[in-house]
Amino acid sequence: MERSPTTLGDASDKGSARYLYLPAMVAAIGGLLFGFDTAVINGAIVFIKQQFALSDAQTEIAASSLLLGCVLGASVAAFTSDRFGRKRVLLGAAALFTVSSIGAALPQNLVQFAIARLIGGVAIGIASTVSPLYIAEISPARSRGLMVSLNQLAIVSGILLSYSVNYLLTGVGPSNWRWMFASAAFPSLGFLLTLLFIPESPRWLMQKGRVQEAQQFLTQIVGSKAAAQEIEDMRATHSQESGELLDPTFRKALIVAILIALFSQFTGINTIIYYGSIVFLEHVPHQTTSTALWANVIIGAINFVATIVGMLLIDRSGRKPLLMSAFAGMALSLVAVAAAIHFQAAGAIVLIFVLTYVACFAVGVGTGTWV
């Protein structure tokens, strides 16, 4: 039975949310791999340190080689995504994730392991830049905060997944850490394959003069009338952009955004993400490897739940109130953690304060910084 022209017109004017959610979810897999590859070292480092007989300095190299790759990846992500497109660059990141996950499972010495993790860091640096950028560029303004927060939810999901995998593989044997890294190959391949089926960012298409393709994609999401308005807004924005990064018009906003991103890291969240198991093993009384990894799972679960709370609040309460209250809560929690460790409090007390710290980060800083 054929549809009437009126029905077709109504459908075109309304659009469908599935054309937004599916590409956004695929792009967010980059965030999941970001979280997994970042946090998997937390449990694995205990076993790597034992198997390779690493000193404290060598342990730092094993953990931090990823971060050097992150710097490299983030440095090249902007200009490569502008030149080749968001989709192609994400495909490259997915390939690097796959190579790194396999490479980190096979090394025979620290150098080989560090190189594999460096490659994974490049992938993380690219994904951490391009995944939220892609999601923001395909999202209507009214839901952009929530949709970009989807990337942060994917990151904390990856962290929780890696902590859970680490815990489940604790008793597999001395080479269990190899399986911890190898397990990331499956979502990496999934990311690579699903990226083949999503469209390019409409804003990038506009930059390249491919207006018809951009409008077609936007029409599927928001309908023909809203899509036409989005196209006009993009044209107006593009004509007003000077191209100067430090233009006085938005210099203050740029500096504030950079400082928020810097302070979100200076607060010490990576100490928990990278070394949580070692902190519990070496500084909290009566802990075993199993209990330390189980504490990580609890931390990952709280991180996940609090991120959902942040996503629900980000477009209601605003970015600034969430960020201010989150930073304040994190500061108080860190003082409590330090005091609990100093006075040799029970492991449960230390864990509670760590959980409040992580929850504050997830609700405000983790969600708000990306947006």
The band of 2, judged by pLDDT with boundaries at 50, 70 and 90, is: very low
Residue 282 has pLDDT above 80, yes or no: no
Beta strands in 52-129 (DSSP E): none
What tokens were used for 219?
Answer: 């029409």
Residue 7 has pLDDT above 60, yes or no: no
Q: What is the dihedral of CA 258, 263, 268, 272, to 10 degrees?
A: -50
User: How much of the chain, in percent, has pLDDT values that exceed 70?
Assistant: 93
In whole angstroms, give the CA distance from residue 258 to residue 251.
Answer: 11
Integer Cα distance of 192 and 198 in angstroms: 11
Using one digit for the tens of pLDDT, what is the confidence trace for 137-172?
Answer: 888 777 777 788 788 889 989 999 999 999 999 888
Please say if the pLDDT value at position 80 is more than 90: yes
pLDDT value, residue 52: 92
Asked if residue 246 has pLDDT above 70, the reply is no
CA distance 331 to 244: 36
DSSP letter, residue 1: -
CA distance 163 to 349: 21
Query: What integer is the mean pLDDT of 246-266?
Result: 83
- C-alpha angle with apex 185: 180 to 191, nearest 5 degrees? 135
C-alpha distances (whole Å) from 29 to each of 129, 152, 169, 290 are 13, 10, 23, 29
How distant, in Å, are the alpha carbons of 15, 23, 134, 235, 316 from that of 224?
A: 8, 19, 21, 17, 28
All structural domains of the chain: 14-198 (1.20.1250.20), 248-371 (1.20.1250.20)
Interacting residues of 54 by C-beta distance below 8 A, sequence separation 6+: 48, 62, 110
Question: Worst-scoring range by mean pLDDT, 51-65, 213-227, 325-339?
Answer: 213-227
Q: Phi and psi dihedrals of 270, rounded to 5?
A: -70, -20
CA distance 349 to 23: 42
In the three-class reduction of DSSP (H, G, I as helix; E, B as strand; rest coil), residue 351 is classed as helix
Which of 40, 216, 167, 186 has the alpha carbon at shortest distance from 113? Answer: 40
DSSP state of 364: I
